[in-house]
Amino acid sequence: MGPVGTKDRCLEALPEITLRTGDAHHVVIGGLGSAGYAWGFEVKGPPGVIFVRASLLPPPPASAPHPALLQTSSVEHTFVIEALSPGRSEVRFMLRRPWEKNVAPVRTLSVWVTVMSGH
């Protein structure tokens, strides 16, 4: 299976996704870059299940039978979730101004990722 993606039209990512080891899932989230906000993330769960990174490149065209397109306002932020080994983890995306310390995010999105073995 090729890369699949999620684009958030209403700032609600798919609450759960299932991947097989070796798969990648792109999450594209609109932000409020013109107001100084940026998306960050944290991963909760056992280590080594998934790897999440920000990407400067747009995601490839969706090849999944049911790609959920998530797109919102101003600047888009792309994140790639890579499935490493079987297990379950949560990715929590948080929209905040990077220079504002100890301030709650203005928006959060949680995505639970289940990784199943091989293709």
Per the CB < 8 A criterion, the answer to whether 81 and 19 are in contact is yes
Q: What is the pLDDT of residues 35-84, one digit of tens each?
A: 788 889 999 999 999 999 988 766 666 554 444 444 444 567 889 999 99
The pLDDT-based confidence of 18 (bands split at 50, 70, 90) is very high
pTM: 0.75
- Number of other CB atoms surrounding residue 114 within 10 Å: 16
- Token match 């960050």: residue? 40
Whole-angstrom distance, CA of residue 37 vs CA of residue 93:
13
**Considering the chain, what percentage of its residues have pLDDT values greater than 90?**
44
Catalogue all structural domains in the chain, each as residue range(s) with its CATH number: 4-116 (2.60.40.2020)
Backbone angles phi, psi at 33, to 5 degrees: -60, -35
SS3 content of the chain, % helix, strand, coil (to 5): 5, 50, 45
